[in-house]
Amino acid sequence: MVTEELKTRITELLPAAAFEEAGEWLNIIIDPNDWLLFAGKLSNDEQLYFDFLFCLTCIDWKTHLTMVYHLTSTKFRHNIVVKAKLDSNSPEIETVSLIWKTAEFHEREVYEMFGVNFLNHPDLRLLILPDGWEAKNPMRKDFEDPVNMIKL
């Protein structure tokens, strides 16, 4: 489906979605509270069928955090990007690991690097960082480490 058709279909599913034209794919900005239902509809919808979550990450914009989800469909081969703005002080969003199982590991990584709390995640704990790094959130822009060199 081309961009216009995607826009129409997504507005039908979630009227509050906003669109942005950054990058080569359609970007959809949503409210974090709508994410779980919207994700379920995206993956099950007959015309959209986004069954492959291939990238899940987070960007720290200093005033807020943005969760970025890259989705594609193995049937129709269209790609979209879903973004949700989170508050810097207490970032929370619903987990999608029940819809796309790959999210389990990716969300654990975002949790330890950025401090985002994923509600109802089956096993939210540190993945790559060793013990003792809880709540340090090293990928945030305000992370200070006097011992190790961060800025090269």
Look up residue 1 and give its two tokens. Answer: 């489906």
Return the amino acid letter for 9. R
Question: For the chain, first and last CA: distance in Å?
Answer: 44
Which region, judged by CB under 8 A, interacts with other proteins, from 5-13, 34-42, 86-94, 101-109? 101-109
Q: State in angstroms the smallest separation of the CB of 15 from other proteins.
A: 25
127 touches other proteins (CB under 8 A) = yes
* 93, β-bridge pairs: 118
Of 4, 24, 46, 144, which one interacts with other proteins (CB under 8 A)?
24
Bin 115: left if φ > 0, else alpha if -120 < ψ < 50, else beta.
left
- CB contact at 8 A, 65 and 116: yes
Residues near other proteins (CB under 8 A), total: 35
25 touches other proteins (CB under 8 A) = yes
Return the amino acid letter for 70. H
d(CA 75, CA 61): 34
Of 11, 57, 88, 117, which one interacts with other proteins (CB under 8 A)?
57
Which region, judged by CB under 8 A, interacts with other proteins, from 1-9, 23-31, 32-40, 85-93? 23-31
Question: In the complex, which residues of this chain contact other proteins (CB under 8 A)?
Answer: 22-25, 51-55, 57, 59-60, 68, 70, 74, 77, 81, 100-102, 104-106, 126-132, 138-139, 150-152
